[in-house]
Copies of this chain bind each other. A is one copy, B any other.
Amino acid sequence: MTAKMLRRQPLYAQIKQLLLQRIGDGEWREHEALPSEWDLAAELGASQGTTRKALSELVAEGLLYRLQGKGTFVAPVAGDWGDASMRTPGLFFEQPDELAREFLGLSRVNASEDVANVLNLRRLAPLLRIRQLWRWHGIPVALDDVLLPAEQFEGMDARWLRNASGVNATLLHRFGVRLTPICEQFRAVMLPREEASLLGVTGMVADVPALSMDRLSAGMDGRPLEWRQRYCLTHNLAYTRSVL
């Protein structure tokens, strides 16, 4: 009764928010089953259909997956490449080779004006910068710079990053933060000197064009939390994004 008066959001949206929080709190691990639709419905005082609608939206957002006859499970974190990969140009359906990840370092930097604006920080606010290199059959093909507000990720440990499978995984397991891309920008640039050396582009042939990707990601509350800059060498492989 009173619940009805206090309600501003539909019931399924409230259930969704509640589940989002419980998933974020780690109540269930990856690939672990949630209670059945009926059990959840009973527990939450809603009908199966309403509960199902909340679950369906979380499935659509990639947080859960369902197996008919088995249950509803927590989806694994998206890797640092999400739905993207490096594939041979023109071969849209090629099975992409996994890129090997190499952690290069964790450092503290100050936010540039652009970054501060977009991440809602004050100018020169302290950031954590995580660098990692991606190799394809041993050859460096991509370099990542991940920028995060230092305040929110105090205690970040380089050893975590060295051993985990990527930044996204570390953020989830150590800080309960799940990132979702909001906006991506692509440019073709001449590779800057520092990045060229990290990517092993040697010698006088310094003028190598590179794909520059800048991606803004948000936490589950929708607030921008990560600015990632990525340089990709694309003479042999193309940055490939498959939908669905």
Footprint of B on A, CB under 8 Å?
60, 87, 89-93, 114, 118, 180-190, 207, 209-214, 216, 232, 234, 238-243
Give the 7 A-B CB pairs with smallest separation, nearest first.
A188-B188, A209-B209, A185-B238, A187-B234, A90-B114, A188-B209, A92-B183
Q: Which residues of B contact A93 (CB under 8 A)?
A: 118, 183
Which B-chain residue is minimally distant from A49 (CB atoms)? B49
Per DSSP, chain A at the interface is strand
Q: How far is the CA of A210 from the CA of B190 in the complex (A)?
A: 10
For the complex formed by this chain, how many copies does it contain in all?
Answer: 2
Contact A239 B185 (CB under 8 A): yes
Q: Which residues of B contact A118 (CB under 8 A)?
A: 90, 92-93
What are 27 sample pairs from A and B whose C-beta atoms fall under 8 A apart?
A60-B60, A89-B187, A90-B118, A90-B185, A91-B114, A92-B118, A92-B185, A92-B216, A93-B118, A93-B183, A183-B241, A184-B240, A185-B238, A185-B239, A185-B240, A185-B241, A186-B186, A186-B213, A186-B234, A186-B238, A186-B241, A188-B188, A188-B189, A188-B212, A188-B232, A207-B207, A209-B209
Given contacts A187-B211, A211-B187, contact A242 B92 (CB under 8 A): no
Q: How far is the CA of A207 from the CA of B182 in the complex (A)?
A: 33
Contact B181 A243 (CB under 8 A): yes
Q: Which residues of B contact A92 (CB under 8 A)?
A: 118, 182-183, 185, 216
Which B-chain residue is minimally distant from A112 (CB atoms)? B90
